[in-house]
Structures are given as C-alpha cells and as structure tokens.
Amino acid sequence: MPKSKSAYSVPTKKQKSDTYIFVVWVDNEAGVLARVVGLFSGRGYNIESLAVAEVDAVKNISRITIVTTGTPQVIDQIRLQLTKLVPVHKVAEFKREDKDVIFKEMALFKVVGKRNKIEKCLNACKKFNPVILDETKSSAVIQITALRREIDVMNKKLKPLGLISTSRTGAVAMTRGAKIFN
C-alpha cells in the first residue's frame, strides 16, 4: 500500500453534487454580506450567483438569494453554518428542480446594429418578456427575465446579431401559491 506522507487523511469517495438555492434573511447592517460570503469562501463552498437587497425598511431586513452546488452533506452544513451567524434571522433552501418555487434572473442586453438586426434580437427574446429600455437609430438596450440557462442561451444567440454587452443579476426566488418560505 502506498504510504501517505501527510498528517491528514486523503479524501475519500465523493457524493453527487446538486444545485440548491438558499434564501437568507439578515439584519441590514454593515458587513453582513461579507459575513455570509466569507462563510462560503472560507469553508470552500461555491457561489454560482448572488442577489441581495433590503426588503423591509422598517425592520431593517435584507434578503440574500444564493445559488450554490454541493453534496447533501455540504448543503446541510451551509444551512447550519448560516443559521449560526448572529445577524441571520432565518434560512430556507430548496433544490433548483423544486416545482413549488419560482426563480428568475434578469439580463440587460446592449445590441448595436441596423434596425432589422435589433428587430431580430427582440424576436428571439419574445419568450422572456423583452422590454426596450433605451433605443437609438443604431442601438437598443433590451431587458429580459428568464432562467439562468435561458439567459446563457440568449447570450450566445444574440452575439451574431450585434450584442456587444450583457449585464445580469443573480437569481431571486419566491414560492408558488399562498405559502411563504418557512
């Protein structure tokens, strides 16, 4: 048997990773985002996307939505470690495949080119509620809301049609129906 040259054990079999969305309610105070993000980087967890903003100005609460991947054990740890942070009020998590939860991202596309190309772009975006936020003779800024992979697809598709700049948000999430995250 090969001898381990380390004072530590070697990594063993890995479980399957899945994509999860975490929703975290925190006190909106200085440094709170650094605490949450620092927990992820410090413990080697992954952040795919992040969205954060104040949602309750009276109670001073911000809502952070984080898309991450991990084995069930890691996802458990993320929830428990987040819950331990002092400014964290509650934590909810769900799988990306969860049918009871909607999640959306927003993207802004800047397209530069002739009118017909811009029209083609709008057409291609039709499924994703395109809104023209700015328009000139030779350019347009188009806003769409969609899933991450849909935006990925659009991003590729619009390149030949004059897309010169993309700006996109992280995912935000909401449960379907009358109930809210526990």
Partner 1 sequence: MPKLLTGAEIVFKCLEDQKVEHIFGYPGGAVLPIYDELKNHPSIKHILVRHEQGAGHAAEGYARSSGKPGVVLVTSGPGATNVVTALTDAYMDSVPLVCISGQVPTHLIGTDAFQECDTTGITRPCTKHNWLVKDINDLSKVIHEAFRVATTGRPGPVLIDIPKDIQFAKTKYKKPNKEKSLNGKSHNKFSQDQIDELVKLLSKAKKPIIYSGGGVINSGPKASQALREFVELTGFPITSTLQGLGAYPGDDNQFLGMLGMHGTYEANNAMHDCDLLINIGARFDDRITGKIDEFSPNSKKVHIDIDPSSINKIIKVDLAIVGDVTSVISKINKKIAKRKNGHSKSNKSNIAKWWEQIEKWREKDSLNFINSDESIKPQHAVQRLYELTKNKDTYVTTEVGQHQMWAAQHYKFNKPNRWMTSGGLGTMGYGLPAAVGVQIAHPEKLVIDIAGEASVLMTMQEMSTAVQYNLPIKIFILNNQYMGMVRQWQELLHEKNYSESYSEALPDFMKMAEAYGCKGIKADRPSELDDKIQEMIDYDGPVIFDCHVDPNENCFPMIPSGKPHNQMILGPNEQEENKIKGKGKALV
- Contacts with partner 1 by CB under 8 A lie at 3-10, 12-13, 27, 30-31, 34-35, 38, 42, 73, 76-77, 80-81, 83-90
Q: How far is CA 50 from CA 24, 128, 159, in A?
A: 11, 21, 25
Q: How far is the CB of 170 from partner 1 (least distance, A)?
A: 22
Instruction: Give the nearest distance from C-beta 100 to partner 1 in angstroms.
Output: 24
Q: What is the DSSP letter of 139?
A: E
**How many Å is the Cα radius of gyration of the chain?**
21
Helix H or strand E segment including 47: none
| Minimum CB distance to partner 1 smaller for 8 or for 160 | 8
Tokens 């590729």 sit on residue: 156
Joined together, the tokens standing for residue 64 give 């952070």
**73 or 116, CB closer to partner 1?**
73
Strand bridging mode 131-135 / 163-168: unpaired
Spatial neighbors of 92 by CB under 8 A, at least 6 apart, are 22, 23, 24, 181, 182
Q: Tell me whether residue 35 or residue 157 sits nearer to partner 1 (CB atom).
A: 35
Smallest gap from residue 117 Cβ to partner 1 (A): 46
Q: By the 8 A CB rule, do 92 and 62 touch?
A: no
Minimum CB separation of residue 47 from partner 1 in Å reads 16
Cβ 4 to partner 1 shortest distance, Å: 4
- Decide whether 29 or 119 has the Cβ nearer to partner 1: 29
**CA-to-CA distance for 4 and 12, rounded, in angstroms?**
13
Complex with partner 1: residue 89 or 168, whichever CB lies closer: 89
